[in-house]
Amino acid sequence: MLTPERHRKIIERLGEKQVVTIQELVEATSSSESTIRRDLSQLQKEKKLKRVHGGASLLHQKSEELSVVEKSARNSSEKEKIAHFAANIVNDGDCIYIDAGTTTHLMIPHLKDKEITVVTNGISHLDALIDHQITTYVVGGLVKPKTKALVGSGALNSLSSYRFDKCFMGINGIHLDAGFTTPDPEEAAVKRLAISLSQEVFILADYSKFNEASFSKVADLNEAVIITNELDEDAAYDFEDKTNIRVVTP
């Protein structure tokens, strides 16, 4: 892999997640730690990013408070942990559905050496999936420019001819009354169908999604296993009655 190609990939990941670990980049580019370190040093000199212990972070954050920045950085490293945990659930031979979205995207590097079949409606996932030599099927449908997700009747039709061992999706809200919710009705429809086609359903969500509700209902709380990482006592108490939560050990 050529230098500019690596650099582009690094910047790209940073754009998505605010932070990247060196380990992650080593896998993504299949080059050595030394090379990635050199890349990061150079990109830092070019003011493209800031090196931090263990990886790199975005440079000029929006003129927000530091705490907000810290939070988003923290969120994404937690997202990474969640994604990693989720990926470990996948076994050789599984056929899985990976929904469009940034959290689920983070699963892909961890699926590298598994013998699996993946179906997705996320266009942004495709390059990574192909890079990792994973057998990939794409759902058809209309491309939503903003999220690069495939939606609409085309997606639903196309999806309905598959069955999954497991499906993984991000979500915007998890609420005791409202269930799992997401802002976009069309994406919600795709999620609903994917859930109904899957034997096991996993929702990837960090703590910020709890007690939030959004416009379109995707499923009831008891329809999926939630993979999350942190939940304060009270919330845990409420949710554990109604849901099946699996907490990533920190």
Partner DNA sequence: TTGTTTTTGATTGAATTTGATTGTTTTTGA
Partner DNA sequence: TCAAAAACAATCAAATTCAATCAAAAACAA
Q: Under the rule (CB under 7 A), what is the footprint of DNA? A: 2-3, 6, 21-23, 31-35, 37-38, 41, 51-55
CB of 145 to DNA, least distance (A): 21
What does 136 bind: DNA, a copy of itself, none (CB cut-off 5 to 8 Å by kind)? a copy of itself
Q: State the DSSP code for 235.
A: H
Which 8-state DSSP code applies to residue 177?
T
| Segment interacting with a copy of itself (CB under 8 A) among 35-43, 94-102, 149-157, 167-175 | 149-157
Q: Contact region for a copy of itself (CB under 8 A) — 74-82, 89-97, 144-152, 220-228?
A: 144-152
Q: Which is nearer to DNA, 22 or 89 (CB)?
A: 22
- Site size toward a copy of itself, by CB under 8 A: 37
Q: Pick one of a copy of itself, DNA, none as the site partner of residue 35 (Cβ within 5 to 8 A by kind).
A: DNA
> What is the enclosing helix (H) or strand (E) of 227?
strand 225-228
Contacts of 236 (CB under 8 A, 6+ apart): 245
Comparing CB distances to a copy of itself, the nearer of 152 and 223 is 152
* Residue 110 dihedral angles phi and psi, to the nearest 5°: -85, -5
Q: Which residue has the tokens 């440079």?
A: 59
Please report the DSSP string for 1-70 in residue order: --HHHHHHHHHHHHHHHSEEEHHHHHHHHT--HHHHHHHHHHHHHTTS-EEETTEEE-SS--S--HHHHH
Applying CB under 8 A, the residues found at the interface with a copy of itself are: 2-5, 8, 18-19, 21, 52-55, 57, 61, 123, 126, 129-130, 133, 135-143, 145, 148, 150, 152, 154-155, 157-158, 161
